[in-house]
Structure formats: C-alpha cells, structure tokens
Structure 1
Amino acid sequence: MKEHARPITRAWVIHPEIVGADRARDPELALEEAVSLAHALPDLEVAGAQVVRLRKPDAGRLFGKGKREELKEAITAAEADLVLVDGPLTPVQQRNLEKAWDIKILDRTGLILEIFSDRAATREGVLQVEMAALSYQRTRLVRAWTHLERQRGGLGFVGGPGETQIEADRRAIDEQLVRLRRQLEKVVKTRTLHRAARAKVPFPIVALVGYTNAGKSTLFNRLTGADVMAKDMLFATLDPTMRRVVLPGGGAEVILSDTVGFISDLPTELVAAFRATLEEVLEADLICHVRDISHPESAAQGRDVATILESLGVKDTVPQIEIWNKIDRLEDEARAAAMTQAARQDGVQALSAVTGQGIDDLVTAVSQALAEVRHLSDVHLGFDEGRKRAWLFQKDLVEDERQTEDGFDLTVRWTARQEQQFEDM
C-alpha cells in the first residue's frame, strides 16, 4: 500500500539580526543558509524570507509591537502555514508569537531536529533524534506527542498528527526518555562490538568531515563508487556511511567514512545527541576536512568544524588533510590562485569532487599520510617463529599476547611500512 505524502507546508523564514551584536557572519548569507535548511525538508515550501534587524530583543516576544504587526501582514499575505525563526526561541517567546500571529512557529533547533528525524537511517540515529526532540520539547509542552507512535518520517512539528496544540504530560515524556535510553544502550553495545571487530581489520579509517553541503558525499562517491545521496542540500547525509576501498592508482586499502555535516550555531543538545554518530571521527586514523572553497564564508565554516571537532575530543595527534573542494565553481583566475595557494601549504589539497580535478593528488597525499599511521592487527606466530616475535617486541609493537597450543596470538599496533617489513622477513 502506497504511503500518502505529507501535505506541503508554506514557510516564512526570518533571520533575526541584533543591531550592534558582534557577528562574524553576513546576515544575508545567514538567511540564505536558513532557507537552505528549510529546503532540506521535502514537504516545506519557502513562501518568503527576510532579515529582521532588532535593536533590543523583546524578552517575551522577541520582536517589538510594530515589527510584530508588520511581520504578521507579510506572513498573512504570503498565505504561510509556518514561521521559521533562524535562532533560538524561548518557550515563552514561541507561545506568545504563535498567539499573536495565529500560526505555528519553529526555531532553528526545532527545524534541525525535524531534518535530522527525516534523514536518520540507522536505529541509533532514530533513537538519538527522538531523545533530543523529547528533551527540547519537554519545556514547551505545546504539541501532541502522537508522532512518537510513528515508525518513520518527521517529528510532527511540521504538519501531520503532531500539529494539534495539546498539553503533554511531563511524566509520559520522562517515561519515554527512560525507554529510549534503554533501547539506545543496547544499540550502542552492538555498535561497540562492530567497532571492536572493525578495529581488528588491518585497514586504517579515513573520515571525511566538513561543514554541511561542503561536498563530502560527492567526494565519497568519487573515491568509492558508492551511491550515497549527494544533493545540493543541507544535511543530505546524516548517518555515517562506511566503505572499504582501495584508493585509485594502486593506493592504500582503507575504510572511508562519510559523516553528517556540521553547521554553525548547532545547539549543544544536538551535538551531544549525535556524538555517537560522529564516533567514527574519534576512531579515525586520518581526518579529511572538506571545505567548500567557493563559499563566501568558507573560512568561518572551517573554524566552526574545527571547534566541533575539538568539542568531540578529537586529538591533535590525529593527522588531518584540509580539502578545498568545489574549485570548479571558481572563476579561472580565482581557481588558479586557490590551486597555487593550496600547493604552497602543507596538508592542503585543492580539487573538484564533481570534475575529478585534483583527485589523484589527494589520493597520493592520503597514502603518504597513512604510511606513518599506526593500526591494530592480530598476528599468529608458531613456536618456530621466534625471530619474528623478537622483532615485534624489539620494535615495541606488541599490545597484547596470548599463548596457544601451537604458538602465540599477538595484537600489534604498527604502521603500514612496519607491517610490510614484517611480511618480508
């Protein structure tokens, strides 16, 4: 039986800009990103968008009386069903604005949660989104919680059965959170077992990270031949995708991981909710930070990614390659300048994942970076292979050793070069 599509919701997007605030971002570009976020949901249609400058935010309604009335006229004229405020709203502000405008309102956190819910593909991802959504909505208690009964699809903030204004029971939410935590613990245990098994595979993990829409999935597809969704859309990838791949040109064999895109002003509860999804980055032997070099705020986006990596606990010792992607979108002169600048810097590669320009140089750089990266392997040696065993201990490569009936089982941590030396003995 064919599932009925949810009705299209017309949204009015507002980016509040506080006059005099120390902002690193261009408000018009921030609005553009907010509109892209709205487009990331298939059942949202953007009816209009505007930057609203505020001298001083109203504690109870965010906007002053005159601005509220002006916005209500624009929203009504556009026949919008939903207002998206690109920033945090307190529960009081949300309720007051909904009453004043007689329309549903979603702030940035709510919208990102809705997108996460729509995209989450793994069981762990779905559970984490539901927990984040429950924690977020617990203080609001203005929506029906019927969406929790649904098996898939959005969270119900936009359209669907979750739109009715029904007071939710806090105790029911807390019980639901306890149930979800138990389910998540089981899923995480299974995932830990999978990761432990993968750690024994003698292939280094290369994680692609970057600001959302930087082109990670397109690069992933270029390197692996995988058919991962790669659209010009924010959050096109949500759950990590792993592929074992031999790098082109006879390069190293690696496990390549494509991760969820980062974004500025990502609420801390969402970073926490997706920490496990980003665990692949913590396990990585090499991190490739993909930047959209054609974006006007590429440098600021890069800083946001670096900040989130630091908050996740990624160590400075993990080697990184910075990838300047989308050079095909630059004018000839700018593209030549970017290529020259990248060539002069250590650990920077300029390329186009779409056209393939610069991919060979990236593969070479990845292979070189991994040459000195250590990875775990299980090695079995017979009692007659004392010379090999002595060599491993002499090089301080043995992490664990167990004697068996016919020899020794060893867990060693070594570089690809050391492994090859061992094989050649």
Structure 2
Amino acid sequence: MLDTLIAGRVVTPDGIIEEGWIGIRGERIAAIGDGEPPQARRAIDHTGSYVLPGTIDGQTHAGSQIGFAGLAPTSRAAVMGGVTTIVDMPYDEPDPITTAALLKDKIAAVEAYSICDVALYGTVPAHPNTNDVQALVEEGVCAFKISSFEAHPHRFPRIDNASTRYLIELLERSGLPLGLHNEDQEIVRRFTQVHRDEGRTGPEFHSPSRPEVAELAATAAFLALGAGVGTPLHIVHISTPDGFALVRRARETGKPATAEMCVHYLHFDGDEDMRRLGGLLKVNPPIRPDRKEALWSVLEQNGCAFVSSDHSAWPLERKNLSSIFDVAAGMPGLETLLPVFFSDAAERYGADEAARLCASLLAERPAAFFGLSRKGRLQPGLEADVTVLQPGPYRYDAKANPNGPGWSAYDGETFAARPVATFVRGRQVWDGAAIAPQPGRYVPRG
C-alpha cells in the first residue's frame, strides 16, 4: 500500500496528466498514473491544481547575515514557496566555505536548522589551496563560486585572473561547475565614485554606477580564462541579453559555458520599478532599464541554464538608506520564485506551458546542473519532492511569514497561482497555511 497519494494535474517530463495521481511510498515516488488510483493510507485531492516536481532554487544566501542559523528562516520561506531544495552559496558569516572542516560544520547546521533539503557551493580564498579544493570536492559540494568583485575582503573576496585560471585547471577532473559573480571591480569602483562625488545617489543611479560594460568585461574575461580546459564555466546571474550572447558564442565554439537567469530580471524594469521601489530592488548586477522583454527572448531561445531567486533576506533597515550606495544588495525571493515565474510565463504562453516551464527551469534543469540525480522530476524511483500549485488570483503579503524579514519587492502584487502544498522526500511540510517542521538533509553532488 502507498503511504500518500496526491491527485491533480501531474506535470511530468512527458507532459501533463490531466486527471492524474502520484503515489508515494517512504521517501520515493512509487507510481504515477491516471484513472482509478491505488489504495493509500492518506489521499490528498488537489483536482484542478498543478502537481509539480519540487522547485530547486539554484542560488540562495542563507548564512550571509547571521551565519548558519539563517538556514532556519530561509528553509521556512522555501517550503512556503514550494521550494524543496535550495542550493546555498558559500559566503557565510563569519567565514566562507573554503575548507572541509567549515563545510562539515555547515552540513551539521543543515541537519539542525533546515526543513528543506540543501545542496552546497564551495569557494576559495584569494589564493586557492589545492588540498582544500580537493577536500571540498570529496565532501560533495555541487559547484564552486568565485567573484571578480570584492564585496568583502575575507567573506567575499575578489579572485584575480591568475588564481581563477589555476582553479579552472584544478577543477577539470572533478567535472564540477565553476560559477562567477561577474562584475569588473575597477569599472564598478570608478563609476560608483564618480556618481558619489557628483551627488547622484538616488536609486535611479544604481544601474549607471555598475554599467553593463562592467558585467560584460568580467564575463568575457572569465570565459577566455577557460580556454583549452574542460571545466564547466557558469555565470550565476546575467542582467543583459548581451551577456547571454557572450556565453552562447563561447558554447558555439565548444566551451562548456552556461548562464543563469534570476527571476527578478524577468519581472522588474530598472527604470520604472527602481524609481518606485528604491533600495528594495537593489541587486548586483543591477536590474537594467528596458531589458526585460529581451531577457524573455533569451529564455525562449534556450539561452539560460535555469532560473533562480538569488534570495538574500536583508533586514529592512539595510534597504531604506538615503544613498543607494549604502543599501545592501539582495532581496528575499524564495517565497515568490515559483508564483512569480509561473504568473509571468502564464501571461505570455498560457498556464499549461507555464507549468511545463516551471517543471523544467525550476526543477529538472537545476537538478541536472548540480548533479542532484535523485531530484528534479516526477518519476518513479526518484525522491518524492512535490509542490502543488493552485491556479487563481493570489495577493502576496510579505508579512504573512512570521519568520521572514517582513518586506519584499513583490509585496502586494497579485499572482496567478500559489503553492498550497509542499512535500520534501514524501513528508508534507507546508499545507498552504502552516509549516510542519521536519529535518532537511544535505544533498551531495551525485
């Protein structure tokens, strides 16, 4: 007998099963079908709703403010948004994940604090240590990330070109992707200082102070540094279609290059919305004016690897400062990733196609990219990570999550659907109204 049976419009890699069901036994999907369902100890009827593979958010920052304890509120926001696995960045407070010892401490924190499952990035200091890199690979990090811009000398340092090339060569045998935060430090610092000196410190000057050329220069240099080496090179966020074009051209010459799309670049406009929302919308690289439609075209042409949130839930006092240059970069996005992407895609392509895109770009493709081989699809034998998305107008209230920061750039928007049930490895952790805390798990690269 099955433990749990979920009925609804089941979104599989082969299409949507209109009057379908998914059967769960233990932590795995046991069966998928339509028509008369088998017996189960618990049957949940979500007729009319989409039954999706659990969302995998490929870019989150759980520990960048309060350390590993940030996994608790981050994972709660995740399951409320239908996210069953987060891929967390390594830039934790007070130390980035550069050694196996630090990684093991974070893995212990995942098991102590997290409700959802967690895969982890590793990183390196300014001068990478061969033994530490190898140890992180052996402990199962799913990728490495570095930055061409120094946000913090210890926690988020700049990795110069020589060290980047060394790391690319070092990672080749592992097959792990190397991700880049892609902004040229000299260009950004020069333009930022000019804007400060001239008193241009309002929100509308964020994008001009970090111009597209800074992003393109860093992206092009990184791709060039990979010449002749088989390490997959990945740009973790691109705000401009020209950046995706650089990655596409590299791929056309045989380089294993990919680029990631963050949902806020698809949803907001850097002119209209930055003036309206101010520092709440500050992210790096910036949300550009008049680029949204071109970025949807990139997605339509299969130009991005997957879509993520880049979630970073800064307290509101770090976002409401008089100068945009003093505002913390980043915004919460875990609760909204799935409903925002579904809503925007449904407006363009219809609800069913939006559901298929969610299953692909928010689950199957990030699972494949990060080597999470037991996740990402609704298929017998895989882990029963399931999200139920209920169509219908839904007004988002950022204050509804008592463990959240209490604000969001999406606050007050009306979405076309909302997550009403989230299952992590067969256990229901969200029912649309309340969280049922259960321990998450560290997911090493498979």
**TM-score band, normalised by shorter chain:** under 0.3
Q: Tell me the TM-score normalized by structure 1.
A: 0.26
Determine which structure has greater relative contact order: mean sequence separation of CA pairs < 8 Å that are 6+ residues apart, divided by chain length: 2
Q: Tell me the TM-score normalized by structure 2.
A: 0.25
